[in-house]
Structure 1
Amino acid sequence: APAPLSRAQQRFWLAEMSAPGSADNMIVLAYALTGPLRHDLLQAALNDVVVAHPALRTIYPWLDEAPRQQVLAPAGAAPVLEHVTPPGAEGMREVAEAVTADWWTRPFSLEDEVPLRVRLCRLAEDRHLLCLHVHHIAFDGWSESVLVDELARAYAARSEGRTHEAAPALSYGEFSTWEATRLADWAGRDLPFWKEELAAVPAPFLPAPARADTGSPARLERVLKVDAQTVRRLEQAAARRGGPALAALLAGATRALARTFDAGELAVGSVTAGRFDPALEPVVGYFVNPFAVVLSPTHDGSAEELLDRATARVLSHLQHVHTPFDEVVRVLAPPRDRHPFFQAWVVLQGLPPHGSLGGHVAVEPVRVRAPSTDIELVLEAIPAPDGSWDLVVQWRADGITTARAEELLAELHTALGETADCA
């Protein structure tokens, strides 16, 4: 039977209805495949993945006065592996962005189209590029590793002449149905905390961007490489205080933001994976829940004191993030002329999936940059296999200037080093 949308899905459904095709609501993934790839086995493995994960074959029609999740039968929702000609671009990222460029201007018709598109580009006899286009209503960063792992196991089974047997897992519809029964309990525990924590959120520290007449503004980015030794020391500094690495990233990032934008106290946003139960870990779907963190980098004194405060804040906040962020916004009713509570995000991602298909085809992720965004500023740390971070600073072109972004990168380098010295 059709299931209700989760609260996170409701946000994306409304966003898609009001601004179809927004880049912030979509994900484009690309993987360099090196080795003797068999196209027929890849197609069969993709079919297996879609069978195993109902979110990838779900549509969202309007039924009984509301949008609902309707899971299609596997036979009617098998992904079409579209073969495309390689462009003349040089470099794997440039090829990936050229091959997927039109996806950013092709909205998903959520009411009658599954939220997954797949392309394969043959670059050489033993070199291919696999590209996926997914809508956020059915997918988050954690889901990427689940999908790639499932694809690898399915390809291995098919290459050995076996049928892929997926491990039993909850469907996302079962989760959203369960979530609806828990919202009142979560709100009773979480909302008093957030009412106190966000009672006096500081004013926005970023300059207000111009309002685009049509479409989303262009997205710009710079990348700061944080070496593996510094990352280890950041992790150790947070662990000494009983906190996750995110606390150290937040401490360094807010210190840099305060210096760059001359802000005494500031609020930033981060996210939790939202998979509060181990049963949710192998499920493809959108579980991410944002939360706000208020820090005073210039008032908290030394890097040690700021890290102490950031760690305490993160640990306390993570105890109160079951309630969906939109419910926190609804109850607290902050001003809505800009993003409620915060305009800048600080996010620590998981390691992008690497591996192989059947032990013969190496899989390496290729990051595809979105061309536009409505988000004012994001500081996103993406781990690399060698233990380093790519700290991607991305912003909308009608907001901060490139010169100010370059200044922020320099301050980030300094502030993260100061935070690492707290280990």
Structure 2
Amino acid sequence: MWSAQQLDPDSPALWTAEAVELEGPLDEAALEAAIRETLQACDALHMRYEGEGADVVQRLRESRSVVIGREDYAGCDQPWDSAWRWMREDLLRPADLARRPLFATALIRLGAQRHLWYLRAHHIALDGFAYLLLIHRVAELYSARTGGRAAAAARDWSLAPLVAEEARYRASPESARSREFWLQRCADRAEPVTLGPKCAPDDSARSSRLQLPAGEHQRWHHAARAIGVDWSAWLIAAVFAWMRARSGSDAISLGLLVMNRLGSAALGVPCMGMNVVPLRLRLQPQWSFAELARAVAAELRELRPHQRYNYEWLRQDLGLGDSHAQLYGPVLNLMPFDRGFVFDGLRSRAHPVSVGSVEDLDLTVSPLADGVRFDIEANPQAYDAATLDAHHRALVATMRAALADSSLRLDQLHSALAREAA
């Protein structure tokens, strides 16, 4: 994230944001107190980053000020649209990792009993799981305050144990083995296949959002078990099949986001704990979808022991650190963790506002209680709205075809989707 920001130091492209919608009789003072306490406790939000020679140094600011902005659109004809425009404009603020705060937050009033809690943070500070940890803690503190009870003890959200853990890993034989593994896997530095022209990322992304019906995730589970894989391998196979059908290429490389928190000091700490690993396959046209899914599962088993080796280290190893060059095309983010949280007395729901910079395509799949969030974010320099929507529809069609018949060959699937698009 540091390297990406230095390519354009003032660029706002690496801001991320979520908004939590709250419906009901809100105790605004209790919510503000919960937000302030939670955000003050998070080390990652109060860091400053500076270059010193060839190194990057992070320092924790002693002052942990949390300013909660206020916006009121209750009197507007379309309060939701007005709030959304404000949030998108807020995301255009320049970033400064050395001198300015890494986050901003606001309470937005949409009506007498409808509010949004908005949180913007630089991607160097938080990943998607970190947002969820913060939201859960705010909900917990709010519910305790409004219910007149004591909240659970404060979490230790210090980054020091994570820094020490990473230093031990970097010096370990495990790290050296993983470095060699990735250097061998990526030795050819093949240009990744994409569905649009290769362009530098823009300051914002183009979105195509979709919510699949409740029960869809369970259908994926059943289909995956029937062919001997888990649902993530099944879904990744569908993305590979879609990429082949849309690009006409058999050599596909995806970027797979991995959390790397289990067994780590980062498990309960809001921070940037994600990594991205290149997942590369050469597909065979005669493969059935089931065979593709099993090939994906086998590749995942190969990669798993080495997914802790940071993608940016690999880019530096390969001499790509000062460029936008990537080792994969679309990025896939599977979010299987529970995104439910409870603000007592209120109905609540999180809305993604920005995932940050998008090089090509970012696919996000998040099973929820009432369906599956299934979004694609695109580099707007490479994909117009109509093209992006067409790709999204084709991906859904690919998944439906795989659900209907896992014995379908990839060349048959390609032809079927081509006929559907004609």
Q: What TM-score, normalized by structure 1, do the two folds share?
A: 0.84
Structure-1 residue corresponding to 2:164: 177
Q: 1:218 to 1:148 in 2, by over 3 A?
A: closer
Does the 8 A contact of 1:350 with 1:382 survive in 2?
A: yes
Does the 8 A contact of 1:257 with 1:408 survive in 2?
A: no
Q: Deviations over 1:202-249 (max 9, x none)?
A: 54322663756xx82663232344444442232334456665432112
Deviation at 1:120, TM superposition (A): 0.9
Are 1:16 and 2:43 counterparts? no
Does the 8 A contact of 2:258 with 2:276 survive in 1?
A: yes
Does the 8 A contact of 2:228 with 2:294 survive in 1?
A: no
Secondary structure at the counterpart of residue 113 of structure 1: coil
Structure-2 residue corresponding to 1:144: 131
Does the 8 A contact of 1:144 with 1:353 survive in 2?
A: no
Does the 8 A contact of 1:79 with 1:116 survive in 2?
A: no
Structure-2 residue corresponding to 1:128: 115
Are 1:235 and 2:218 counterparts? no
Does the 8 A contact of 1:148 with 1:353 survive in 2?
A: no
Structure-2 residue corresponding to 1:360: 345
2:183 to 164, 187, 195: 195
Deviation at 1:19, TM superposition (A): 1.8
Structure-2 residue corresponding to 1:290: 276
Secondary structure at the counterpart of residue 328 of structure 1: helix
Deviation at 1:27, TM superposition (A): 0.9
Matched to 2:268, the amino acid is: P
Bigger mean CA deviation after superposition, 251-260 or 169-178 = 169-178
Q: 1:24 to 1:349 in 2, by over 3 A?
A: farther
Alignment partners' CA distance in 2, 1:304 and 1:281: 33
Q: Deviations over 1:16-45 (max 9, x none)?
A: 233245454111111111122222212211
Are 1:98 and 2:85 counterparts? yes
Structure-2 residue corresponding to 1:49: 38
Alignment partners' CA distance in 1, 2:238 and 2:90: 35
Structure-2 residue corresponding to 1:117: 104
Alignment partners' CA distance in 2, 1:19 and 1:349: 29
Alignment partners' CA distance in 1, 2:139 and 2:69: 19
Structure 1 runs not aligned, ≥5 long: 1-11
Identical-pair percentage: 21
Structure-1 residue corresponding to 2:414: none
Alignment partners' CA distance in 2, 1:181 and 1:351: 28
2:197 to 190, 194, 209: 209
Secondary structure at the counterpart of residue 143 of structure 1: helix
Structure-1 residue corresponding to 2:380: 397
Structure-2 residue corresponding to 1:417: 400
Does the 8 A contact of 2:330 with 2:361 survive in 1?
A: yes
Secondary structure at the counterpart of residue 366 of structure 2: strand
Q: 1:205 to 1:403 in 2, by over 3 A?
A: farther
Q: 1:79 to 1:348 in 2, by over 3 A?
A: same
Secondary structure at the counterpart of residue 197 of structure 2: coil
Deviation at 1:252, TM superposition (A): 0.3
Structure-1 residue corresponding to 2:418: none
Structure-2 residue corresponding to 1:381: 365
Matched to 1:44, the amino acid is: A
Secondary structure at the counterpart of residue 96 of structure 2: coil
Structure 2 runs not aligned, ≥5 long: 408-422
Does the 8 A contact of 2:253 with 2:279 survive in 1?
A: yes
Q: Deviations over 1:313-361 (max 9, x none)?
A: 122212211111122223344798753211221221246734332x123
Bigger mean CA deviation after superposition, 327-336 or 389-398 = 327-336
Deviation at 1:259, TM superposition (A): 0.6
Deviation at 1:415, TM superposition (A): 2.0
Q: What TM-score, normalized by structure 2, do the two folds share?
A: 0.84
Matched to 2:236, the amino acid is: L
Does the 8 A contact of 1:60 with 1:70 survive in 2?
A: yes
Structure-2 residue corresponding to 1:263: 249
Q: 1:248 to 1:367 in 2, by over 3 A?
A: same
Does the 8 A contact of 1:201 with 1:267 survive in 2?
A: no
Matched to 2:162, the amino acid is: F
Alignment partners' CA distance in 1, 2:2 and 2:323: 21
Bigger mean CA deviation after superposition, 54-63 or 340-349 = 54-63
Q: 1:62 to 1:303 in 2, by over 3 A?
A: closer
Deviation at 1:408, TM superposition (A): 2.4
Secondary structure at the counterpart of residue 194 of structure 2: coil
Alignment partners' CA distance in 2, 1:344 and 1:272: 14
Alignment partners' CA distance in 1, 2:311 and 2:358: 18
Aligned residues: 404
Bigger mean CA deviation after superposition, 167-176 or 144-153 = 167-176
Bigger mean CA deviation after superposition, 389-398 or 160-169 = 160-169
Deviation at 1:273, TM superposition (A): 0.7
Q: Deviations over 1:38-67 (max 9, x none)?
A: 222122112221243222232335679844
Deviation at 1:275, TM superposition (A): 0.8
Q: 1:49 to 1:239 in 2, by over 3 A?
A: farther
Bigger mean CA deviation after superposition, 299-308 or 188-197 = 188-197
Alignment partners' CA distance in 1, 2:281 and 2:271: 31
Q: 1:363 to 1:338 in 2, by over 3 A?
A: same
Matched to 2:209, the amino acid is: V
Are 1:28 and 2:12 counterparts? no
Structure-2 residue corresponding to 1:8: none
